[in-house]
Amino acid sequence: MIDASSPGPDKGAGSPRGSWGGRTGQDWALDDPSIGDVVVSEDDIGRRIDELGARISADYQGRPPLLVGVLKGAFVFMSDLARAISLPVEFDFMAVASYGSSTRTSGVVRIVKDLDTDLAGRHVLLVEDIIDSGLTLAFLLRNLAARHPASLAVCALLAKDSAQTVPELAYVGFRIPPDFVVGYGLDIAERYRNLNCIRRYAGPVG
């Protein structure tokens, strides 16, 4: 019988998030030449999400938001963010495509998966992983606003300094340089989403 209250022989009490037995599970990344420097550390992400959660909880007091996550990149961030919000939030997801397997956006945005929820009269908080050119976000905001939500705001984990077509962002985790980054949900050709931090992509540019 397993005692759930005990950390067990391999899982240390007080281990950092994502660790197991003192190992972070990221050893596979050490020898990958495509993974560059750390841009935002796991600890900094955790602290900033706690701050964002507290702000959102205060701002939406009495009107719990519907969190709309943009797949696939925002799923890790949205999961942690939701648990940092002290309100009974609801969830929905949509998926859009503009990159494919490249590191450069095509400039053409298409909806791959639409929402299941009627947004009319709802307080909608769009959760994004990263704002790059701003074209995808502008498309999403136009699309969602046409569904007549009571309010519509954006929470983005990352915003690049190079972004030029960026609508006003209510909540931003970090401003970063214009490098292509991976980790914590962000990918290149579906790889590196499970890195526990944000790192510069140093591999071939598509």
The DSSP secondary-structure symbol of 29 reads G
- Its domain, for residue 71, covers 32-201
| 19 located within any domain | no
* pTM of this structure: 0.82
Q: Does any domain span residue 171?
A: yes
The single-letter code of the amino acid at 165 is T
pLDDT score at 27: 82
Residue 7 included in any domain: no
Structural domain count of the chain: 1
Q: How confident is the model at residue 47 (pLDDT cuts 50, 70, 90)?
A: very high
Catalytic positions: 132
Q: Is 101 inside a domain boundary?
A: yes
Query: Which ranges of the chain would DSSP assign to H, the alpha helix?
Result: 42-59, 75-84, 135-145
Instruction: Compute the distance between CA of residue 157 and CA of residue 70 in angstroms, rounded to an integer.
Output: 12
What tens digit of pLDDT does each residue of 94-153 get? 999 875 554 455 567 889 999 999 999 999 999 999 998 888 898 999 999 999 999 999
Q: What is the pLDDT of residue 167?
A: 64
CATH number of the domain to which 178 belongs: 3.40.50.2020
In tens, the pLDDT along 10-31 reads: 433 333 344 433 445 688 888 8
Task: Establish if 145 belongs to a structural domain.
Answer: yes
Coil/strand/helix, residue 66: strand
37 within some domain:
yes
Task: Please list, in sequence order, all residues whose beta carbon lies within 8 angstroms of the beta carbon of residue 119, skipping any fewer than 6 positions away.
Answer: 66, 144, 147, 148, 149
84 lies in some domain = yes
